[in-house]
Structures are given as structure tokens and as C-alpha cells.
Amino acid sequence: MKKFFKILIIAFVCFALMMGTGLYIFYDSISSGAGPENEIIPEDAPQGKEPVNVLIVGVDAKDAKNANGVRTDTIMVANFDPKTKNVNIISIPRDTRVIIRGHKGKDKINHAHAYGGIDLSIKTVKDFLGIDVDYYVRIDYKALGQIVDDLGGVEVDVPMNMKYSDPYADPPLKIDLKKGLQVLDGNKAMQFVRFRKGYTDQDLGRIEAQHKFLKAVADKLLSPQTILKLPKLAKTFGTYVDTNMPASAIASYATQATGINMDSINMLTIPGEPKLISGIWYFIPDEEKMKTMLDDLQSETQKTSNGIVGSLIQKSEEQEVVSKATVEVLNGSGVAGLATKVAKKLKDEGYNVVNINNINGMKYSQTHIYDRKNKASEAKKIAKILGVKDIETDLHADAEAEITIIVGSDLKE
């Protein structure tokens, strides 16, 4: 869970930045004489109408475009289907133990970028997942702070005084934020998302705060007023983001991405567990569960030229499942008996409620549903039953239940 929101923020911001500045970059390239006729387009790559798979890697380097010797900290594959406007993002833990072409034995997947740059990263991910990769996007983490500055800051309700320092962190960490509603600039935004300690209910409280921050960034990125800031955002894109996606394809996908929001994004993480091998910690993927997860992301189209799956489309909500998920219901509303009422409703629907409890010290105005073990389809069904809009992914191998529900005061009626 520790890396989840870092990955989500980078993935969403990277995607929104591409879509938000795509048209500007395209028309600017034409005016500068670098039109579509001069673009280098990968062979057989989709050009804006077909579903597209994009490898997104995050690096911490002085220059994202010349970072081939740097290991990647974030690795994911994002799929966008223009017809459904759905985005599926598969996150691959950076320590995942895989085969890397040209190297003996198995190694950490993030080493592929240090060994052979983005080209070897693409080949390694393709070999590991068994899917096609159409384009890549390489982004420097410093982009998040710069984007917030480009937007003129983001208004966030800081839930507590945040004070922490760690001179040995990379980069060094110094956090000093006051409680209350305020506009965060880029530096303070980075402090906010890096703060870990002090939340009530620990990770659940942190997720609640960071979810609000992410929505604030998304709302501002997708607001009509952002059009006036496109030149700045485009410059940030050019500075911190490296991609082989041609401007014409970005423009086409940007046009069709109108209406994209957090509800359109489905996030999954490769299942597995850490293991110490010869004194080195690796993430060992559970191949059987991984195959099931990828099979559940049904293919809607295939590359006719090579037969490789070219689309990762979320399983239909109407598709039957063999068994109901296990569920825990936690009362965060402050209304006595509300969790029991919700649990009974789910039991009547055939769900196995394994835990009913209270969350002390923090009240939730909205109900949250967390997919803990890649049960996105069941989580969506439960959301429909309860009338809840948001579903969040928070994978945890040791969780007792497959789906966690934090009941908010919005369900008291």
C-alpha cells in the first residue's frame, strides 16, 4: 500500500498531462514546421482510434530524455480504449523477479532500464506480461510539483499539522505544513504526498487525504480554465516527459479522452509476495493469480499482424462469477448500527461478511469501497448495491477480506 498513491498520482498526472496538452503540442508542432509528415511513427502502432497500450515508467533523473542508465522506480502498463473511455493500469512492482533478455538468470525488472534503456524495458515487460506495447512514456517525478505550480496551486484541506524531516531520504525530506484549507504550491504539494506519519487509522487516513488531493489536481487539470495554461503545461511535458507517441496520435487520443475522470480508471497490481534470495529481496509474482488477473481483463481486439493481445479491457460487470467475495464492513460514520445494517444488506445478496467493526477517532462523510485482492468486478457490484460511486484499489495479500467497506454518513438514509 505504501507505494500505491505515488504510483496512482504519477500515472494519472502523466495521463492527464498527455491528454490535456496533446492538442496544443500537435498544433504547435505544425506551426513550427514539425508536422505529421515529419513524425517517426512506430510500425503498426495505433493512431488514435484503436485501443492503445502504453508503458509508463517513472525515473528520478536530471533529464528524463537521457536517463538510460537509471533504474525505474515505477513501472506500469496503461490501456486506453477510445470507444469506452476506460483506462486500465497494471502496476508492476519494481523488484519483480523476471527474465531480462541478454542477461543470465533472473533479475529485478527495474534493472532492465539501467541495462538497456527504454527499449529493453519494453521488451522485458512484453515478455513478462505477454502483451503488446504500442508506445512508452518516461516521466521524471519532479513533474508533479511543477504541474501544481503551472496550475497556480491546488486547494487542499490539510487534515493536521504535518512536520517531519529526513536528511537521508532520496531526495532529502523536509515537511512543514499547517492544518487547514489552503492552496499548496508545487513544493508543499510534494510535502503533502510524501507525508506518512500521524494519520488516524494510519494508512486508511492517509489514503483518504491523498485521494482528496488527487481529485483536486484532477479537477483543476480537467477544468476549462486550464486551457489558458496549456503553454506552460506543454513546456513541463516537454521537460519532464519523454515519449515515442507522435503528436498526431496524442492529439487524436486527447480529443477522444474528453470526459475521462477517476471513475474511468481501473488500477491493478501484479499479485505476489516479497522473498529473500541470496541476500537480496525480490518480489516473486504469483503466476497463477497473475494469469487469472490478465484473463479477467478480456481482450476486445487483437493485433492481426502478430496475434498478440493489443487491448486490456475490463471484464463486463454482467459476466457471471463463480463465487461471491468475502467482505468486511467498518463503521466510519459515527452512526450506531449503520455498519450492521449495511452488512445485512450484503449478506442478503449472498456476500460472506467476515468482519463488522468500528473506526474510532475519524468520521467519514462518504462511503469508501476498497478492492483488496483483485476483485474489481465484485467491488463494482457492491458499489451498485450500495449506491456508491467511487471504488479504490488497495491490494493487500494479508487482508482478511477481499473487499473492505468503510461506511460513511452518506448511507444513513
pLDDT by residue for the chain (413 residues), tens only, comes to 334 444 444 444 555 555 555 544 444 544 444 444 444 555 566 665 778 888 988 776 555 555 556 677 678 888 888 777 777 878 788 889 999 998 888 999 999 999 998 999 999 999 999 888 888 888 776 777 888 898 899 998 888 899 988 887 666 778 999 999 999 999 998 888 778 777 765 545 665 666 677 677 777 776 767 767 777 777 777 777 788 887 777 767 766 666 665 566 676 778 888 899 999 999 999 988 888 888 777 543 333 333 333 444 333 333 333 357 899 999 988 888 899 999 999 988 889 899 999 887 678 888 989 888 888 888 888 998 998 877 887 777 667 888 999 998 888 76
Write down the architecture of domain 1-315 according to CATH: 3-Layer(aba) Sandwich (3.40)
Q: Are 42 and 118 in contact (CB under 8 A)?
A: no
Burial (Cβ within 10 Å: 0-12, 13-18, ≥19) of residue 296: middle
Other C-beta atoms closer than 10 Å to the C-beta of 27 total: 13
Amino acid 107: pLDDT:
94
Amino acid 104: pLDDT:
85
Q: Are 241 and 138 in contact (CB under 8 A)?
A: yes
Amino acid 39: pLDDT:
46
Query: Could you check whether 1-315 and 326-411 share the same CATH topology?
Result: no
Q: Which of 337, 198, 221, 247 is nearest to 33 (CA)?
A: 247
The correct answer on CATH 3.30.70.2390 for the domain covering 326-411 is yes
Other C-beta atoms closer than 10 Å to the C-beta of 189 total: 25
Is the four-CA dihedral 228, 229, 234, 237 of positive or negative sign?
Answer: negative
Helix (H) or strand (E) holding 365: none
Provide the residue ranges of all domains of the chain, joining segments of one domain with +: 1-315, 326-411
Burial (Cβ within 10 Å: 0-12, 13-18, ≥19) of residue 102: exposed
Burial (Cβ within 10 Å: 0-12, 13-18, ≥19) of residue 308: middle
Amino acid 305: pLDDT:
31
